[in-house]
Structure 1
Amino acid sequence: MAIQWLPPEQYVKTLPMHAQYACFFFTDTENRPLQLRCSVPATRSIWQWPGGNTDIEGESPFETAVRECKEETGLEFADEPRLLAVFWNGPGEWPVGKVGFCFDGGRLTTKEISKIRLDPDEHDLYAVRSLSKWAQTMGTKEFQRLAAVLRARESGVPAYLELPAARSRRKR
């Protein structure tokens, strides 16, 4: 059987689709992670990093992280991108998989943290805590992700995490 090559605009229609998101990982000067609490009632207990979905055509993951960080916190990130982690979330809550990129936002001073202005439609609280305090606050999977990203920053080796969903189609 001969392979039939398709023009790119036709070929991409045959590929599985995914959504993309990007975020920044910040700590304070004592290396304690900063996170934002989701204000949406159904997910209010979820702690997140500043970031969100790529929803602008042609926007790169880093551009997404910069835009979303400014929208959610008022912080303007101007340094070069430094990738800390890539995440794969299998289909489940979303009908498609999601790929995520986490960039190093650096260490914020107390003054910089005090300038955070949250978008109340997305987050209602920010907190800076030690890893042991976050372990007491977060679910196991979320904490494992936080710890992996902190290790990636400390080691200089980016992390890759697969976060399979309930409907994962991956064969084992």
Structure 2
Amino acid sequence: MTNTWLPPEEYVETIARATSYACLYFTDTRERPVQLKAAYSTETWQWPGGNMDPGETPWECAVRECLEETGIAFQGEKKLLAVQFISQREHDWPTNHVGFIFDGGTLTDEEIASIVLDPAEHTEFRVQTVSEWEEIMTPRNFARLGAVAETRRTGVMAYLER
């Protein structure tokens, strides 16, 4: 049997595709998660982050999006907390979606007070305990928050699937 190698342009047509996002998970000095409310949804709370641009690494994306969405020029270490895989079968999107959730560390009260939101993307931000977040988040999004908070606490990276 002879293997026939396809040119890259043809080969990529035969394999799964995915879009990707990256974000930073922050807490305050009392370990309460900091989240932003998405302008496009009345129920979506998320971390500073977004979809990766062509040629951009997940880390570059997380840092860029954080600056754009909060005004925070993050310069901390590259510490991955979780990877999330969302199958195209589970959402209204033509490809799979893969996310990289990095540890943004702890924000001081002054840093939190200095957050400047882009109103086209987010309408508000909050700092709350994990249990307080559960009261206002969708179960699916809260499961992600809970897993990432646990990862931060234990130091054991999470792999998440919806």
Measured against the shorter chain, the TM-score band is: over 0.9
C-alpha distance in 1 between matches for 2:156 and 2:57: 21
Equivalent residue, structure 2, for 1:134: 133
What are the within-5 Å matches in structure 2 for residues 54-133 of structure 1?
Answer: 54-55=52-53, 57-91=54-88, 92-133=91-132
Q: TM-score, normalised by structure 1?
A: 0.89
User: Helix, strand or coil for the counterpart of 1:67?
Assistant: helix
Equivalent residue, structure 1, for 2:43: 45
Equivalent residue, structure 2, for 1:151: 150
C-alpha distance in 2 between matches for 1:33 and 1:136: 14
1:106-141, CA deviations, whole angstroms, 9 ceiling, x for partnerless residues?
000000001100000010100000111111111111
User: Helix, strand or coil for the counterpart of 2:35?
Assistant: strand
C-alpha distance in 2 between matches for 1:78 and 1:128: 21
Asked if the contact 2:43–2:138 (Cα under 8 Å) also holds between the matched residues in 1, the reply is no
User: Helix, strand or coil for the counterpart of 1:84?
Assistant: strand
What are structure 2's unaligned runs of at least 5 residues?
A: none
For the pair 1:32 / 2:29, whether they are aligned, the reply is no
C-alpha distance in 1 between matches for 2:131 and 2:139: 12
C-alpha distance in 2 between matches for 1:132 and 1:15: 40
C-alpha distance in 2 between matches for 1:155 and 1:112: 25
- What is the root-mean-square deviation of aligned Cα atoms in Å? 1.1
Q: CA deviation at 1:9?
A: 4.1
Give me the identity figure in percent.
Answer: 51
C-alpha distance in 2 between matches for 1:132 and 1:100: 24
C-alpha distance in 2 between matches for 1:6 and 1:39: 44
Letter in 2 for 1:45: E
1:127-159, CA deviations, whole angstroms, 9 ceiling, x for partnerless residues?
000111111111111111101001101111110
Q: TM-score, normalised by structure 2?
A: 0.94
Number of matched pairs: 160
Change in CA separation of 1:95 and 1:9 when aligned onto 2, cut-off 3 Å: closer
- Runs of 4 or more above 3 Å deviation: 7-10
User: Helix, strand or coil for the counterpart of 1:37?
Assistant: strand
User: Helix, strand or coil for the counterpart of 1:119?
Assistant: coil
